[in-house]
C-alpha cells in the first residue's frame, strides 16, 4: 500500500515535471523562432502581394481598367469625365478618393495609373511624375447666409485668417465675432488658399476640418463663420463673397479676374507607356472632355 | 502508515489524472492533442508577433522624422504648421493629457455612482432598464458619439462661448469646436466602460462584508462608502484604467468636435489631439509632413505604453497591499 502510494506520487511528480518542463522549453524556443519566422514571412508576403497587385493593375489596365486615386475636391469633375470615358471607350475606371497626397504617392509608386491632385506638384514629386493640368478651380470664400458683408479684399481676408481682424463689425458688418474655418494641414484647397491669400502671414484657425463638405456645412451652421471651399462645391446653404469686387464664377476664374484659383492635375509616371493613360488624358483635354469639366463647375484650360 | 495515507490523500488525485492523460495520449487523440497544443501556441505567438511588428514598424517609420526635426523641437515645439516645416507637437501632447484628465474627472464620479446605484440601490425593475442601456452605450460606434457631439454639443457650446466672451475682443471664437466639447464627448464615451467594470466589482463584494457593517450599526450609505467601495477598489481602478485607454486612443469622435487647430489647450480654444492630428492630415500629407505624422503615431504609441505600464504597476501594487492586508 505504502509502496504503491509512493510510486504513484513519484510517477505523478515525474510526469508533471516532464510535462511542464517540456512545455516551458518548447514554448520559449518556439516563441522566438516562430516570431522571427512569422515576421519575415509576413513581410515577404506583403512584398509579394504588393508586387502581384502592381502586376495585376498593369496587366488588367491593358485589358481595360484604369486605376486612379486622389483629390476629393476633384471628385465631381473626375466622375463626370470617367463616366463618359467608359461609355466611349469601354474602359473601366476605378476611382479612389483619398486625397491629393495619397494620389500622388500611389501614382509615383505605380499603385495607380493616375494620381489626381488639386495642388501643383512639389519639386520632389515632379522628378518622377508628369503633371497634366486638366482644369482650374476657383476657391470660393463662403460665409453664413445671414452675413451682411458682400465683398472682401484679399488683404482683409489675410488679416481675418491671421487673427488680426476678429469681428465682422471691423469690415462694416454686424457686431459678431468671426469664426475662422479652414481645411487641415496638407489639404490642396488649404495650400491653394494660403499660397494665394496669406503671403507671409501664419493662419490662426478656429476649426480645421478634413473635407470640403464639412467646411460648407459648418459655415452654414455657424453664423459668425468664414471658410473657403472649391467653387464647384458651393451650394445655397452658404453665401460666396466677392473677392476684390469680383464674383466667384467660372467666367471670372477663367479670365483670371477672380484671384483665388488653383489647378486640377492628373499626375502620371514620367516613363509610362500606358496606352490607356494617354487615351484618358487626350480625352479629358479634348473639347468633349473639357465640356464635362466645365459642366461640373471647374474651369476649362483651353 | 495512517500518517502516510493521510499525507497522500490530496496528491493521490493527480496520478489518476496523469494516467488518464497518458492513456488518452495514444493514436489519433494523441495527434489531436498535440495539434491543438501547437494551435494554441501559434495563436499566442500571433499576438506577440503583432505587437513586435507594430512596435518595429512605428519606430522605423516614426523615428527618422523625429531625428530630422530634432527630438526637442518635435516634442517641445509649440507650432505645428506643415507649410513652413514647423512640426512641434507640444500642444497636441498637452491636449491629449488634459482632454483625458478632463474626461476622467467627469466620467469617473458619474460612472462610479451609476455603478453603485445599479449594484446596491436600484430597484430590480429599474436595474433591468438601466443595465442593458449602459451595455448598449458601450457598443455604439465612436463616430456616432462624434456626430451627436457635432450636432448637439457644438451649437450649445457656441452659444455658451458667445455669452462668456461677449466683451472679450482677445478671445478667438471657435464656433463651439473646442476642448470642452471634446471632454464632454469623451466623458460620455468612457462612461459605459467604467460603469460595467465597477458594477461587476461592487457586485462581487461578499455579502458578509455588508452584513457585518450593518451589524455594527452602519447605515446603507456608510456601508457603501466605508466598506463596499474600499473592498471593490482594484476592480474600480481597472475600470478607470480601461477608460483612460479608451479616451486617449479615441480619434473619430473628437475630430468632429475639437476644432483640430494645434493650440495650447484651454477649455474654450480649438485644440488638436495626438490622434486627430494623424487622422485629419494623413490623406493629403507628403514628404516630411507625412513622416512627422508617423512621428506623432510613435509618440502616441510610447505614451499609451507608458500609461499602461504605470497604471498596471499601480494596480498590481494595490493588489499586493490587499493580499498583505488579508494575511
Question: How does pLDDT run across A22-58, given as a tens digit for each residue?
Answer: 444 333 333 333 333 444 444 444 444 444 444 334 4
Query: pLDDT value at position A230?
Result: 84
Residue of A nearest to B167 (CA): A177
3-state class (DSSP) for residue B266: coil
Contacts A–B by Cβ distance under 8 A: 152
Cβ-defined contact of A98 to B158 (cutoff 8 Å): no
A19 confidence band (pLDDT: 50, 70, 90)? very low
Residue of B nearest to A208 (CA): B260
- Closest CB to A206: pick one of B11, B42, B270: B270
Cβ-defined contact of A31 to B18 (cutoff 8 Å): no
B180 contact residues in A (CB cutoff 8 A):
none
In angstroms, the CA A171 to CA B271 distance is: 27
Predicted confidence (pLDDT) at residue A254 exceeds the cutoff of 90: no
A189 contact residues in B (CB cutoff 8 A):
none
A20 contact residues in B (CB cutoff 8 A):
none
Mean pLDDT of chain A: 79
Helices (H), A110-166: 123-126, 154-162
Cβ-defined contact of A186 to B286 (cutoff 8 Å): yes
Cβ-defined contact of A185 to B281 (cutoff 8 Å): yes
Mutate to test the interface with B, among A30, A202, A206 (most CBs of B within 10 A): A206
Query: pLDDT value at position A70?
Result: 87
A3 confidence band (pLDDT: 50, 70, 90)? low
Residue of B nearest to A177 (CA): B173
Same fold across A65-136+264-295 and A137-261: yes
pLDDT digits over A147-159, tens only? 999 999 999 999 9
Per-residue pLDDT of chain B (327 residues; tens, 9 = 90+): 444 444 444 444 455 455 555 555 567 888 888 999 999 999 999 999 999 999 999 999 999 999 999 999 999 999 998 878 889 999 999 999 999 999 999 999 999 999 999 999 999 999 999 999 998 888 899 899 999 999 999 999 999 988 888 877 778 888 889 999 999 999 999 999 999 999 999 999 999 999 999 999 999 999 999 999 999 988 898 888 888 888 988 988 899 899 888 889 999 999 999 999 998 888 767 778 889 999 999 999 998 888 888 877 877 776 776 676 665
Cβ-defined contact of B283 to A38 (cutoff 8 Å): no
- Closest CB to A210: pick one of B82, B176, B280: B280
Half-sphere exposure for B72 (CA within 13 Å, toward CB)? 0
Q: How far is A98 from chain B (nearest CA, A)?
A: 6
Query: Is the separation of the CB atoms in A186 and B283 below 8 Å?
Result: yes
Identify the bridge partners of residue A264 per DSSP, sorted by sequence position: A135
Query: Is the separation of the CB atoms in B153 and B239 below 8 Å?
Result: no
Residue % of chain B over a pLDDT of 70 = 89
Helices (H), chain B: 2-8, 13-24, 27-69, 71-76, 90-116, 124-139, 142-148, 154-164, 179-203, 207-215, 220-223, 229-231, 233-249, 252-255, 274-281, 287-326
A202 contact residues in B (CB cutoff 8 A):
81, 84
In angstroms, the CA A71 to CA A298 distance is: 14
Report the first-to-last Cα separation within chain A, whole angstroms.
106
In angstroms, the CA A94 to CA B45 distance is: 38
Residue of A nearest to B173 (CA): A179
Query: Is the separation of the CB atoms in B96 and B250 below 8 Å?
Result: no
Report the first-to-last Cα separation within chain B, whole angstroms.
34
Average pLDDT over residues A5-28: 45
- Closest CB to A207: pick one of B5, B8, B260: B260
Rounded to 10°, the helix B27-69/B13-24 angle is: 90
In angstroms, the CA B113 to CA B229 distance is: 11
Give Cα separations from B156 to A117, B162, B302 (angstroms): 37, 10, 36
Query: pLDDT value at position A63?
Result: 56
Cβ-defined contact of A187 to B165 (cutoff 8 Å): no
What residues contact B322, with CB distance under 8 A and at least 6 apart?
B233, B234
Pairing of strands A179-183, A207-209: parallel
In angstroms, the CA B56 to CA B71 distance is: 19
Cβ-defined contact of B287 to A122 (cutoff 8 Å): yes
- Site of grid cell 436595474: B127
Pairing of strands A114-117, A151-152: unpaired
- Site of grid cell 474651369: A299
A195 confidence band (pLDDT: 50, 70, 90)? confident
B88-97 as b/e: b if 16+ CB within 10 A: bbbbbbebbb
Cβ-defined contact of B285 to A185 (cutoff 8 Å): yes
A64 confidence band (pLDDT: 50, 70, 90)? confident
Average pLDDT over residues A73-86: 87
C-alpha cell at A288: 468633349
Q: Would you report the helix, strand and coil content of chain A in percent, each value rounded to 5?
A: 50, 20, 30
Cβ-defined contact of B283 to A210 (cutoff 8 Å): yes
Cβ-defined contact of A202 to B84 (cutoff 8 Å): yes
- Closest CB to A38: pick one of B49, B169, B284: B49
Give Cα separations from B268 to A62, B188, B277, B297 (angstroms): 56, 19, 19, 26
Query: pLDDT value at position B276?
Result: 92
B314 CB neighbour count, 10 Å cutoff: 13
A283 confidence band (pLDDT: 50, 70, 90)? very high
- Closest CB to B287: pick one of A39, A124, A218: A124
Cβ-defined contact of A39 to B14 (cutoff 8 Å): no
Cβ-defined contact of B284 to A99 (cutoff 8 Å): yes
What residues contact A140, with CB distance under 8 A and at least 6 apart?
A228, A229, A230, A231, A234, A240, A241, A248, A260
C-alpha cell at B27: 493514436
Mutate to test the interface with B, among A186, A203, A212, A262 (most CBs of B within 10 A): A186
Helices (H), chain A: 2-62, 75-89, 100-109, 123-126, 154-162, 188-197, 212-221, 250-254, 275-285, 287-295
Residue of B nearest to A5 (CA): B8
Mutate to test the interface with A, among B36, B286, B288 (most CBs of A within 10 A): B286
Residue of B nearest to A180 (CA): B174
Domain A65-136+264-295: which topology?
D-Maltodextrin-Binding Protein; domain 2 (3.40.190)
- Closest CB to A208: pick one of B44, B172, B261: B261
Q: How far is B238 from chain A (nearest CA, A)?
A: 29
Q: Three-state SS string across B108-170, please?
A: HHHHHHHHHHHHHHCCHHHHHHHHHHHHHHHHCCHHHHHHHHHHHHHHHHHHHHHHHCCCCCC
- Closest CB to B261: pick one of A124, A207, A221: A207
Architecture of domain A137-261: 3-Layer(aba) Sandwich (3.40)
A10-39 as b/e: b if 16+ CB within 10 A: eebeebeeeeeeeeeeebeebeeebbeebe
Q: How far is B89 from chain A (nearest CA, A)?
A: 14
Rounded to 10°, the helix B13-24/A2-62 angle is: 40
Residue of B nearest to A13 (CA): B15
In angstroms, the CA B87 to CA B72 distance is: 11
Domain spans in chain A, listed from the N-terminal domain onward: 65-136+264-295, 137-261
Cβ-defined contact of B41 to A30 (cutoff 8 Å): yes
Pairing of strands A242-243, A151-152: parallel
Q: How buried is residue B52: exposed, middle or buried, by Cβ count under 10 Å (0-12/13-18/19+)? A: middle
In angstroms, the CA B100 to CA B107 distance is: 10
- Closest CB to B175: pick one of A15, A124, A179: A179
Identify the bridge partners of residue A152 per DSSP, sorted by sequence position: A243
Cβ-defined contact of B81 to A202 (cutoff 8 Å): yes
Amino acid at each position: 500500500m505504502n509502496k504503491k502510494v509512493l510510486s504513484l506520487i513519484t510517477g505523478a511528480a515525474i510526469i508533471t515535471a516532464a510535462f511542464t518542463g517540456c512545455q516551458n522549453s518548447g514554448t520559449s524556443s518556439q516563441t522566438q523562432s516562430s516570431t522571427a519566422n512569422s515576421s519575415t514571412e509576413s513581410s515577404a508576403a506583403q512584398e509579394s502581394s504588393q508586387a502581384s497587385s502592381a502586376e495585376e493593375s498593369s496587366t488588367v489596365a491593358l485589358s481595360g481598367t484604369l486605376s486612379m486615386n486622389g483629390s476629393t475636391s476633384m471628385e465631381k469633375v473626375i466622375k463626370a469625365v470617367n463616366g463618359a470615358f467608359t461609355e466611349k471607350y469601354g474602359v473601366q475606371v476605378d476611382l479612389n478618393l483619398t486625397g491629393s497626397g495619397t494620389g500622388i504617392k500611389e501614382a509615383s509608386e505605380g499603385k495607380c495609373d493616375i494620381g489626381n491632385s488639386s495642388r501643383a506638384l512639389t519639386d520632389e514629386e515632379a522628378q518622377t511624375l508628369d503633371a497634366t493640368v486638366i482644369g482650374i478651380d476657383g476657391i470660393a470664400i463662403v460665409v453664413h447666409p445671414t452675413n451682411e458683408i458682400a465683398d472682401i479684399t484679399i488683404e482683409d481676408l489675410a488679416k481675418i485668417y491671421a487673427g488680426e481682424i476678429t469681428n465682422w463689425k471691423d469690415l462694416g458688418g454686424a457686431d459678431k465675432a468671426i469664426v475662422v474655418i479652414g481645411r487641415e494641414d496638407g489639404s490642396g484647397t488649404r495650400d491653394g488658399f494660403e499660397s494665394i491669400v496669406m503671403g507671409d502671414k501664419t493662419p490662426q484657425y478656429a476649426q480645421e476640418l478634413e473635407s470640403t463638405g464639412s467646411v460648407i456645412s459648418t459655415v452654414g451652421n455657424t453664423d459668425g463663420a468664414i471658410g473657403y471651399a472649391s467653387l464647384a462645391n458651393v451650394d445655397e446653404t452658404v453665401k460666396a463673397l466677392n473677392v476684390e469686387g469680383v464674383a466667384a464664377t467660372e467666367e471670372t476664374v477663367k479670365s483670371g479676374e477672380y484671384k483665388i484659383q488653383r489647378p486640377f492635375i492628373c499626375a502620371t509616371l514620367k516613363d509610362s507607356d500606358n496606352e490607356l493613360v494617354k487615351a484618358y488624358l487626350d480625352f479629358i483635354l479634348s473639347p468633349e472632355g473639357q465640356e464635362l469639366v466645365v459642366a461640373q463647375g471647374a474651369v476649362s484650360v483651353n | 502508515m495512517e500518517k502516510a495515507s493521510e499525507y497522500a490523500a490530496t496528491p493521490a488525485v493527480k496520478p489518476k489524472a496523469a494516467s488518464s492523460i497518458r492513456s488518452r495520449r495514444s493514436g489519433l487523440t494523441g495527434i489531436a492533442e498535440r495539434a491543438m497544443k501547437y494551435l494554441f501556441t501559434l495563436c499566442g505567438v500571433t499576438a506577440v508577433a503583432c505587437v513586435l511588428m507594430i512596435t518595429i514598424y512605428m519606430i522605423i517609420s516614426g523615428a527618422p522624422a523625429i531625428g530630422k526635426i530634432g527630438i526637442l523641437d518635435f516634442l517641445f515645439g509649440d507650432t505645428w504648421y506643415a507649410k513652413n516645416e514647423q512640426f512641434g507637437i507640444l500642444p497636441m501632447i498637452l491636449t491629449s493629457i488634459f482632454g483625458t484628465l478632463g474626461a476622467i474627472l467627469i466620467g469617473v464620479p458619474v460612472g462610479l455612482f451609476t455603478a453603485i446605484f445599479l449594484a446596491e440601490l436600484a430597484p430590480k425593475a429599474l436595474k433591468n432598464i438601466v443595465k442593458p442601456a449602459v451595455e448598449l452605450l458601450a457598443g455604439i460606434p465612436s463616430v456616432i458619439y462624434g456626430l451627436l457631439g457635432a450636432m448637439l454639443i457644438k451649437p450649445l457650446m457656441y452659444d455658451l462661448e458667445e455669452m462668456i466672451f461677449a466683451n472679450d475682443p482677445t478671445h478667438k471664437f471657435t464656433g463651439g469646436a473646442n476642448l470642452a466639447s471634446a471632454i464632454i464627448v469623451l466623458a460620455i464615451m468612457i462612461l459605459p466602460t467604467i460603469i460595467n467594470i465597477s458594477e461587476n466589482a461592487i457586485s462581487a463584494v461578499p455579502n458578509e462584508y455588508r452584513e457585518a457593517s450593518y451589524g455594527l450599526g452602519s447605515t446603507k450609505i456608510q456601508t457603501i462608502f466605508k466598506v463596499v467601495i474600499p473592498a471593490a477598489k482594484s476592480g474600480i481602478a481597472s475600470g478607470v484604467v480601461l477608460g483612460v485607454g479608451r479616451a486617449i486612443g479615441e480619434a473619430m469622435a473628437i475630430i468632429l468636435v475639437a476644432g483640430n487647430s494645434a493650440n495650447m489647450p484651454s477649455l474654450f480654444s480649438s485644440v488638436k489631439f495626438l490622434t486627430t492630428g494623424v487622422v485629419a492630415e494623413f490623406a493629403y500629407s507628403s514628404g516630411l509632413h507625412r513622416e512627422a505624422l508617423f512621428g506623432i503615431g510613435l509618440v502616441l504609441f510610447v505614451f499609451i505604453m507608458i500609461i499602461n505600464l504605470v497604471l498596471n504597476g499601480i494596480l498590481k501594487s494595490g493588489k499586493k497591499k490587499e493580499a498583505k492586508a488579508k494575511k
